[in-house]
Amino acid sequence: MSTNGRKGKPVEQRNVRTEVRTFEQFRAEADRAEPYPLDLGGEVIEIPPPDTTEQVFTLSENGHKPREALKALCGEYYERVYSRLKGEHISVFNGLVADMAAHFGMGSAPSGPGGN
């Protein structure tokens, strides 16, 4: 410990990383969730995990906007999923999104009106 050139309470030294890290290293170490398989009534699609920074930011910023959150979760499959979902009870939406969030290892899922 040192006083960091100041009088008073000692300051703990931090371990300073001197190795330069690359994005390639972080990519190689990244955990990747498996796609979410969803049966749309005879056709199974595989929705890729929302694992880009942009998708995660969109989910975080739009968690209170169910349609935008569903778009971020489903990506290119949004229209196909929404066409099956739009006439269903809101609990179906909430169940699907909660299941997708659990599958992808997300902390919590956005919910629609009346959701938990």
pTM assigned to the model: 0.67
pLDDT at position 59, please? 85
Q: DSSP readout, 15-38? A: PPP-SPP-HHHHHHH---PPPEEE
Q: What is the full per-residue pLDDT of the chain (116 aa) written as tens digits? A: 555 555 666 656 677 767 888 888 888 887 778 999 999 999 999 999 988 888 888 888 887 888 998 998 999 999 999 999 999 999 999 999 999 988 988 866 555 555 54
- Whether 112 contacts 93, CB under 8 Å: yes
Residue 39's pLDDT is: 97
Neighbour count for residue 104 (Cβ, 10 Å)? 19
- E strands in 1-116: 36-39, 44-47
Q: Which amino acid is at 54?
A: E
Q: For residue 69, which amino acid is it?
A: A
